[in-house]
């Protein structure tokens, strides 16, 4: 399959905004709380349609999260929206204490996540969010791969019983799923046909899933079999899906728009070791260095998170084993 065989969807930001409008129409307890992020979050139409369901806090992320906790304590279904880079760094203590520790089921929405802001640089990148939030108890973590997963995750989050963090980028995405696909927070989705054995297991999350999918398609043309898991939920962590994919494969490649330290790959590596499933493994992500300047795709390409880079990683891993 080539890229032309998948249709191009919208940017997740647009889809997010439309989904919120649909939901808010039926539920007046839904509140959108923003930190001067209604424009960058494409939420201006929401604010015009539901002025009483939007609360502006100004550029003050700590206050945004603290106020959201207070609103949630009063029964509101709160979407606290700000760029992922600021929300999960500057307001981390508020997320930890006011939301997670105090068990206020706020929906924390990190927009323009990962390296979506591209050449705006490291101040605007969120390559730490999976790592820091995974170290905090009682907050689920979701990174949808396409419009379908975004709509499904936002809908599922409305009455989600725990705090949840959902992060996505700003570029239009390819549609990876057919309508009617089952989506559940905490359950990975197998994008490829199920087999007894694979050469490679790709376990990818967020906007890198499409790249893993195309790598899988490219490898099949070379006679190399693989599976692709869209691992949209970093937490709850779908152990069963990882166990099945890895144990049926010769090598495992994890893919994420995040630092290679403390993200999906590290979690999967430690899980596989503890489960006694020993496979050569590659963590594809942003390495521990000053991130190269470029747009999102250029950064992906630079660090081998595109179809070509992932195919090469798979072939190397199959032929030579892990890097030494």
Binding stretches for another protein (CB under 8 A): 52, 55, 57-58, 60, 62-63, 65-76, 93-94, 97-98, 101-103
Residues 6+ apart with CB under 8 A from 64: 33, 34, 35, 57, 80, 82, 87, 91
- Give me the least distance between CB of 54 and another protein, in Å please: 11
- Give me the least distance between CB of 47 and another protein, in Å please: 15
- Give me the least distance between CB of 163 and another protein, in Å please: 13
Tell me how far apart the alpha carbons of residues 260 and 161 are, in angstroms, rounded to a whole number: 30
CB nearer to another protein: pick between 60 and 318 = 60
CB nearer to another protein: pick between 38 and 267 = 38
- Give me the least distance between CB of 60 and another protein, in Å please: 4
CB nearer to another protein: pick between 51 and 223 = 51
CB 93 within 8 A of CB 63: no
Residues 6+ apart with CB under 8 A from 195: 225, 227, 248
CB nearer to another protein: pick between 101 and 271 = 101
- Give me the least distance between CB of 21 and another protein, in Å please: 19
- Give me the least distance between CB of 103 and another protein, in Å please: 7
Q: How far is CA 281 from CA 190, 251, 270, 288, 310, in A?
A: 19, 6, 11, 18, 12
CB nearer to another protein: pick between 23 and 73 = 73
CB nearer to another protein: pick between 68 and 307 = 68
End-to-end CA distance of the chain: 33
- Give me the least distance between CB of 107 and another protein, in Å please: 14
CB nearer to another protein: pick between 69 and 200 = 69
């Amino acid at each position: 399959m080539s890229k032309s065989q998948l249709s191009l969807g919208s940017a997740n930001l647009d889809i997010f905004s439309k989904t919120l409008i649909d939901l808010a129409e039926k539920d007046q307890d839904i509140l959108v709380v923003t930190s001067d992020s209604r424009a960058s979050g494409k939420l201006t139409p929401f604010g015009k349609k539901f002025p009483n369901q939007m609360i502006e806090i100004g550029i003050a992320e700590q206050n945004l999260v603290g106020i959201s906790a207070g609103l949630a304590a009063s029964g509101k279904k709160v979407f606290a929206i700000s760029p992922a880079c600021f929300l999960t760094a500057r307001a981390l203590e508020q997320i930890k204490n006011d939301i997670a520790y105090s068990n206020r089921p706020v929906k924390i929405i990190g927009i323009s996540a990962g390296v979506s802001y591209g050449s705006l640089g490291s101040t605007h990148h969120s390559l730490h969010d999976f790592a820091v939030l995974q170290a905090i108890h009682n907050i689920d973590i979701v990174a949808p791969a396409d419009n379908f997963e975004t709509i499904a995750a936002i809908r599922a989050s409305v009455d989600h019983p725990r705090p949840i963090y959902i992060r996505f980028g700003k570029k239009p995405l390819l549609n990876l799923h057919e309508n009617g696909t089952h989506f559940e927070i905490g359950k990975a989705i197998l994008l490829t046909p199920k087999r007894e054995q694979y050469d490679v297991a790709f376990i990818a999350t967020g906007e890198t899933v499409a790249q893993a999918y195309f790598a899988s398609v490219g490898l099949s043309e070379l006679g190399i079999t693989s599976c692709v898991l869209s691992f949209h939920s970093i937490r709850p962590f779908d152990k069963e899906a990882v166990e099945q994919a890895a144990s049926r494969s010769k090598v495992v490649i994890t893919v994420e728009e995040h630092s290679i330290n403390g993200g999906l790959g590290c979690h999967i590596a430690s899980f596989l070791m503890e489960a006694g499933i020993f496979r050569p493994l590659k963590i594809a992500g942003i390495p521990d260095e000053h991130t190269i300047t470029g747009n999102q795709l250029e950064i992906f390409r630079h660090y081998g998170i595109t179809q070509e880079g992932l195919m090469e990683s798979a072939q190397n891993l199959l032929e030579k084993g892990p890097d030494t």
